Structure 1
Amino acid sequence: MNISVRRSTRSLSTRALATGLALIAGFAASIPAQADEADAKRLLKSMSDYMTAQKTLSFSYDTTLDVVSEDQQRLTLAGSGTVLISRPDKIRSTRSSGFTDIEMLFDGKMLTLLGKKKNIYAQIEIPGTLDHLLDELRDKYNRPLPGADLFMSNPQDQLMAGVTDIKDLGSGVIGGVECDHLAFRKKEVDWQIWIAQGDQPYPCRYVITSKKITGGPQYSIQLSDWKSGVQVAPEEFAFNNATNAKKIELKDLPNAEGLPSNFVGAKAK
């Protein structure tokens, strides 16, 4: 998608950026051609098994989403939120991006999306599991939950589909947590994941890079305040409309991943 944006008067230091890219290029050249795929697969499976085994979990997250302008400038939108999950069929999440503030509740039968800024809400009946809900949100309603692949019943199946190349890049530190850093390639995207070391191998950061769009825009999600085995009451996932919000159709509710008003979509050339 081509994007037209308002001009900004801010300037950037290109010398620091060039130095950083030179260091990255040197590091990339030093990666062995035959990285230890077996270790990478083992670490990813360990994370997948751990995530699948958690009946309840909660975390905070920060996301970034890149868009590319008509003149090939890469711009980044930032957002934050929280997620509370009770398997097999309940989730409560929030997302705020500066231009939208959405809360989502699902109790196994009814999905509620609340637009807090305008005090409006929409509801849809989608009975079923969390996996079914996440698939419907992505494929039918174009409202994917950030990092949804990580929270399906078997993350490994979702993540590894179509992978053609795997690298184990050693250790990294995310938010003060030492992690195993893995990189994967698919036909249309590259993706990386940082997995916490120790007996709670949860995903600390997940980054997807497009290979089909000039400029290589990325989507990333970084997790913090991780908790598992939390006690959760069913009422946590029920919508009680305490603010007397107005009910509207889903199509009229802003998409949390949509563009702010100063971004104008342009037709592809």
Structure 2
Amino acid sequence: MSQEIIGGSFRAAVAVTVLSMAMGWTLTMPAWADEAGAKNLFKAMSDYVSGQKTISFKYNSNVEIVTPDLQKLTFASSGAAIVNRPDKIRVTRTGGFADVELTYDGKSLGLYGKNLNAFTKIAMTGSLDEVIDTLRFDFGLEAPAADLLSSNPNETMMSNVTDTKDLGSGVIGGVECDHLAFRTLDTDWQIWITQGDKPRPCRFTITSKTLALAPEYTIEVTEWKDGSDVASDDFNLKTAADAKEVKVEELQGLDEIPNLSGKGDGQ
């Protein structure tokens, strides 16, 4: 949950390229599959995910920042999410410095900083899309895989795409996935989608092209469930008995990125 605009395979590719150049080899890149095919695969995923009334999953995320002295730092978090369309969600995230829970039951939005032992509740109504926008634009927070959980990921994510590639298959957590890559003016992003009749996201990476050293955000999805396999939830915010209720502007320290005061601000 961060300024979510904000791996190893990339580093390996760089290493191979550098080694090959040093030895005088020429690497021939494969011919990419047609763009229409890649767009169709992404739309199939979009239609499948948005068509599920209930979804739950666990996730691991990494967000990179670049300090003013060009040091790249990565912060890792894990959590879980449960969604009941059109207007209910519960998300947890635990990192090295924050333990956060977000709930929305169609009537109020709750934020609980367990590490702070403080919470806030905001009366509101509306769809999950409206909640995602409120978090993003009013509070500078992001639900994990927020755009992928929207009512129409294809419309949300493909509107500014300028280049599309189908990179073939890849394996995430032992599951064979279609590997797709897309470009916009400001970002490059990749997604791995399970093959078969239930195309859901396994990994999503977005890379900023406007910041030094191109920091990335990556989320890997595990233990995906949908439909009747999803456990029931009342989506009410549950806090410790001694937790303090505060105004939302007082609830600091919920972001994936720590306060680096005294160490230079991150980009």
Q: TM-score, normalised by structure 1?
A: 0.86
Which residue number corresponds to residue 67 of structure 1? 65
Which residue number corresponds to residue 213 of structure 2? 215
**Unmatched runs of 5 consecutive residues or more in structure 1:** 1-16
Instruction: Flag the 1:244–1:218 CA change in 2: closer, same or farther, 3 A.
Output: same
SS in 1 for 2:168: strand
Q: CA offset at residue 260 of structure 1?
A: 2.3
Which residue number corresponds to residue 92 of structure 1? 90
Give the CA RMSD over aligned residues. Answer: 2.4
Deviation readout 1:214-247 (Å, 9 max, x if unpaired): 1010001100000001355452x01244533110
Instruction: Flag the 1:24–1:195 CA change in 2: closer, same or farther, 3 A.
Output: farther
Which residue number corresponds to residue 29 of structure 2? 30
Which residue number corresponds to residue 55 of structure 1? 53
Distance (whole Å) between structure 2 residues aligned to residue 115 and residue 134 of structure 1:
18
Which residues in structure 2 correspond to 1:74-89 (within 5 Å)?
74-89=72-87
Which residues in structure 2 correspond to 1:78-227 (within 5 Å)?
78-227=76-225
Q: CA offset at residue 20 of structure 1?
A: 4.8
Q: CA offset at residue 82 of structure 1?
A: 0.3
Distance (whole Å) between structure 1 residues aligned to residue 154 and residue 17 of structure 2:
28
Instruction: Flag the 1:88–1:188 CA change in 2: closer, same or farther, 3 A.
Output: same
Distance (whole Å) between structure 1 residues aligned to residue 168 and residue 33 of structure 2:
10
The runs of at least 4 consecutive aligned structure 1 residues that moved more than 6 Å come to 25-28
Deviation readout 1:119-158 (Å, 9 max, x if unpaired): 1101111211111101111111111112100000111011
Distance (whole Å) between structure 1 residues aligned to residue 127 and residue 11 of structure 2:
48
Q: How many residues align structurally? A: 251
Instruction: Flag the 1:199–1:261 CA change in 2: closer, same or farther, 3 A.
Output: same
Distance (whole Å) between structure 2 residues aligned to residue 263 and residue 30 of structure 1:
44
**Unmatched runs of 5 consecutive residues or more in structure 2:** 1-9, 21-25
Q: CA offset at residue 79 of structure 1?
A: 0.5
Instruction: Flag the 1:30–1:134 CA change in 2: closer, same or farther, 3 A.
Output: same
Percentage identity across paired residues of the two chains: 45
Distance (whole Å) between structure 1 residues aligned to residue 244 and residue 11 of structure 2:
51
Letter of the structure 2 residue corresponding to residue 130 of structure 1: L
Q: CA offset at residue 70 of structure 1?
A: 2.4
Which residue number corresponds to residue 23 of structure 2? none
State whether residues 82 and 94 of structure 1, in contact with CA within 8 Å, keep that contact through their aligned partners in structure 2.
Answer: yes
Q: TM-score, normalised by structure 2?
A: 0.87
